[in-house]
Structure 1
Amino acid sequence: MNDFWILLTAALVACSCSLLGCFLVLRKMAMIGDAISHSVLPGIVLAFLFSGSRDSLWMMLGASVIGLVTVFLIQWFHQNGVQSDASIGVVFTALFAAGVVLVSLYTRQVDLDLDCVLYGEIIHVPWETVEWNGIDIGPKAVWGLGIVLALSALIIGLFYKQFKICAFDPAMAAAVGIPVAFFHYLLMGLVSMTTVASFESVGAILVVGMLVVPAATAYLLTEKLSRMILYSMGVGVLSAVLGYLAAVLLDASIAGCMIVVAGVLFIVALLFSPTHGVVWRKFRRKQAVVV
């Protein structure tokens, strides 16, 4: 039963991250998840200092607020002449360092270290359960991630056209009256919420990997956004299953094995994709020369 809960949790993370990751890849903001996953540390510490509790709700609220601040600062720096990658690097390193300073100054006598607040472990998921009317209804992570996935899917479904146009052509979106800034921050808010909800249970490595690698793999396989989202989720779930099997066989890190498998699938797509594959491109060039 523990295997089932671990795989279900990993699949929920894969689907949640892949859904949003497709839009991040298309907007050339793939590393925003990595930035958020590190920069929310001061939000977690401030939430603890304010509430005096390590309750997940307070942690998520504090982290989500700082996640949105991170996105705002990155966007503001970029709009004022700083390159996008430099903006991400400056903001997330500065905020992460501020979080480390806060941890060292104010939580020395409390069990609130970087491993506790930032690097979860998916193998612990089955043991942290939720009770309702005295009945154990399953792991807390499964319920939290399920709600986050449902909310993200609902919002993306309701505003799919707007998100699509903003991803492919922001100038056109603005020209036809779509509030580009609103949908940008709405998407970043979903990314922040998904990242925070995920990394407490499964760790930053799995979250960042699932935000980027399945979406990048799907990008190589299709040029249609709806198919890209489905392929991305499929790659994410397949990576979770195969990665877990590899981790059991090798007695290795579960999250690490899942992302390694995702990386292998990306390389396979890069080499053999019918449209973008390196091997197929070379084959078609040889065929053209022969003809």
Structure 2
Amino acid sequence: MSYTGWIILTASLVGLTCGLIGVFLILRKMAMMADAISHTVLLGIVIAYLITNELNGPHMLVGALLAGLLTAVLIQWLQTFNIQQDAAIGIVFTTLFAIGVVLIATSVGNAHLDVQHALMGEITFIPFNTITLPLVGNVPQATAMLIIVFFIVLFFILVFYKEWKITSFDPALAASLGIPVLLMHYLFMSLVSLTTVASFDAVGAIMVVAMLITPAASAYLWTDKLSIMLVLSGSFGVISAILGYYLAAWIDTSISGSMAFATGIVFLVSFIFSPTHGLIGKYIKPVKG
């Protein structure tokens, strides 16, 4: 595959996986959780580096995943003290991210780990860091990881589809039916963390947040059916990745930034032209009546 092909495939996998997870974030009214976890995983990455002095390896994934879960646990814990969810997210998110930034500035030294890399990613370098897979050959490491994460996310969504649906729309009903709501919550947070971590190094925190929230918000405008919303959200993520790449190539700017901007374009089109919730649809409906 060409250099351009690997970049587009990697970004499309980010858009597809984040699009699926993002639907449940939107339905659970936890959109800001995506922003929080996409930033706090930086702390886990820094601590993993300080322990091992290596920038590559499974320990980075484990460190970031644990940081994501710590974020979810701390937010849930603060809510038990009657602190509102958005306030709890703001407290945990800013504190853990600030600790990560301070550790980078004071302890990491000359390693290739900085805040700019964390925010914007290094997707242009993805095709150069490869691993060899049987029957496939050389594949970018980030792409291989994202393929694995996509199938993990897809597996859990399909297996627990009914549980995700009930706990997202009516947690009280789910609890009365014997569904372990808290366990499903932390399982979902694990999937959010895993998706964020896998996407983080390739595209940075800004694009992760954009891909987790905006395609799902766009899909929410087009349909009220969960299964269709999942398909649309994943598709919008892929469309945004492809559109953003060619936009970046056209005006010679940041690829990740352009892909995040493309999600906004998709949302704007949805906001205007959606037949049910779009501006035009709302304008035409009274006329028809």
Superposition TM-score tier, normalisation by shorter sequence? over 0.9
Give the Cα separation in 1 of the matches to 2:136 and 2:262: 36
Which residue number corresponds to residue 228 of structure 2?
227
Give the Cα separation in 1 of the matches to 2:117 and 2:217: 30
Which residue number corresponds to residue 211 of structure 1?
212
Give the Cα separation in 2 of the matches to 1:132 and 1:284: 55
Identical counterparts, % of pairs: 48
Which residue number corresponds to residue 83 of structure 2?
82
Residue ranges of structure 1 left out of the alignment (5+ in a row): none
Q: Over residues 185-243 of structure 1, what are the superposed CA-to-partner deviations in whole Å (9 max), with x where a residue is unaligned?
A: 10110100110111111211211110000000000000000000000011111111111
Q: Over residues 137-188 of structure 1, what are the superposed CA-to-partner deviations in whole Å (9 max), with x where a residue is unaligned?
A: 2111110000000011111111110011001110100010000000111011
Give the Cα separation in 2 of the matches to 1:220 and 1:135: 39
What's the CA shift for 1:41?
2.0
Distance 1:239 1:117, change over 3 A: closer
Give the Cα separation in 1 of the matches to 2:262 and 2:113: 32
* Corresponding residue SS for 1:131: strand
Which residue number corresponds to residue 172 of structure 1?
173
What's the CA shift for 1:76?
1.7
Q: TM-score, normalised by structure 2?
A: 0.95
What's the CA shift for 1:136?
4.2
Size of the alignment, in residue pairs? 288
Q: Over residues 5-36 of structure 1, what are the superposed CA-to-partner deviations in whole Å (9 max), with x where a residue is unaligned?
A: 11100110011101100000000111211101
Q: TM-score, normalised by structure 1?
A: 0.94
Contact 2:207–2:259 (CA under 8 A) maintained in structure 1: yes
The question of 1:48 aligning with 2:49 is answered: yes
Which residue number corresponds to residue 125 of structure 1?
126
Give the Cα separation in 2 of the matches to 1:86 and 1:6: 37
Give the Cα separation in 2 of the matches to 1:230 and 1:109: 43
Contact 1:44–1:117 (CA under 8 A) maintained in structure 2: no
What's the CA shift for 1:111?
3.9
Contact 2:120–2:256 (CA under 8 A) maintained in structure 1: no
Which residue number corresponds to residue 60 of structure 1?
61
Distance 1:32 1:56, change over 3 A: farther
Contact 2:272–2:280 (CA under 8 A) maintained in structure 1: yes
* Corresponding residue SS for 1:76: helix
* Corresponding residue SS for 1:203: helix
Structure 1 counterpart of 2:237, one-letter code: G
